[in-house]
Amino acid sequence: MADRFFPNTMPDFVAAATSLSGDDDGGTVSAPGDSSPAKLLAMPYPVLSESFKRAALDLKETMVVETWGVTRQRVRDFALYTGSLGTAFSLFRSYQITSNSNDLALCSQIIRACDSASSGSRDVTFICGRAGVCALGAVVAKYVGDTRSLTHYVNHFKEIKLSRSTPDELLYGRAGFLWACLFLNKHIGDGTVPSSTMRAVADEIFKNGRALAKRGGKSPLMFEWYGEKYWGAAHGLAGIMHVLMHLELKPDEMEDVKGTLKYMIRNRFPSGNYPSSEEDRNRDVLVHWCHGAPGIALTLVKAAEVFRDDEFLRAAVDAAEVVWNRGLLRRVGICHGISGNAYVFLSLYRVTGNEEFLYRAKAFACFLLDRALKLISTGEMHGGDNPYSLFEGIGGMAYLFLDMVEPSAARFPAYEL
């Protein structure tokens, strides 16, 4: 199992430096140990933040060249997960951090190409489907001030149809479509997607989850994807519950969501990690956003906010401890890599204000800043099957570094709103 992650030898917590030398004379800080991540961690945050920003912008440029320039501005894969829309999403985040209008203009251009490439797609979600193109397109059009494009994207979003065979999970299913609706309403305005549309989708999710749960098991809700009852964020309970908690739920629905999450907490591994599925309850291996403690921790943080129940916050903190000990994965990306795992600490920092969680997010980010590209070049770290993409490759690292500039505003891309 240890070959999946690097041993975490960083201190559990070190208080942040307040000046470059302790007396504001512009000197340097000495750090315990000789490791470069430790030296980076010893920097005052304004200095470290600038390092993250510079690295993020360099990685963003590489991402643009490799996914847009090399292809001669043709879209081979439109999806946010592995394709061009992920580049556009990263450019949008860069614009939010830097106010560089060139990023926004290029973002709009890439989305237009994705719009053409996805016009016949039957995939309906934000992360892997047509809904992501239309939703992000509408939001960016609003920022640009292009009312014609805004109307175009919103109208095309409303043409997206879910079929009876649409699954319920996040990456390809109803929950992923609902997330796109929530994103649109947050950035364009409540009612952009009518509540009746969202309620109909939620009703179907609850109906399906209750029906499968009644066939056996002790969870109020259960779902299948390709015959397996997943627990994680990408295909399972955590991702679906996370989206549902953003809606106005009926009392019985709230109880079902709470009961499902408490079922997961009761049946986690002794280590604090979580099974990837009902069928895989004996293998404590995966510590990814998609499967395992990281994605479930983000959902538990949301539950603590929504339900004001300390049990969920305690469970999220327990899951974060798993991520701290086993989350320096030998992969770089957002979905199943160090970049995604860092967001567990950022999420907990946002809701608790506890500096220990900010420190741990910095520690993971500093590890990447210092070592990721070297480790990828030597083959000690996997750069991803799509090495420049948002969810699998260095695009995720760029996005994390951008979020580290303003950590209290950080959100896991396409998961936390």
Phi, then psi, of 331 in degrees rounded to 5: -135, 155
Angle at 102 between CA 97 and CA 103, to 5 degrees: 45
299 and 257 in contact (C-beta within 8 Å)? Answer: no
Task: Say how far apart CA 201 and CA 11 lie, in whole Å.
Answer: 46
Residue 384 and residue 333 in contact, taking contact as beta carbons nearer than 8 Å: yes
290 annotated to bind ligand: yes
Coil, strand, or helix at residue 331?
A: strand
Q: How far apart are CA 53 and CA 55, in angstroms?
A: 5
- Read out DSSP for 350-384? HHH--HHHHHHHHHHHHHHHHHHHHHHHHTSSB--
Q: Tell me the C-alpha distance between 262 and 417, whole Å.
A: 23
Whether 114 has a binding-site annotation, put simply, is no
Contacts of 83 (CB under 8 A, 6+ apart): 67, 75, 76, 77, 114, 386, 389
Q: How many CB atoms lie within 10 A of CB 380?
A: 11
User: Counting beta carbons within 10 angstroms of the beta carbon of residue 19, is it exposed (0 to 12), middle (13 to 18) or buried (19 or more)?
Assistant: middle
**Cα–Cα distance measured from residue 235 to residue 237, given in angstroms and rounded to the nearest whole number:** 7
User: Which residues lie closer than 8 Å to 173 by C-beta, 6 or more apart?
Assistant: 124, 125, 166, 167, 225
Binding residues for Zn(2+): 290, 335-336
Binding residues: 290, 335-336
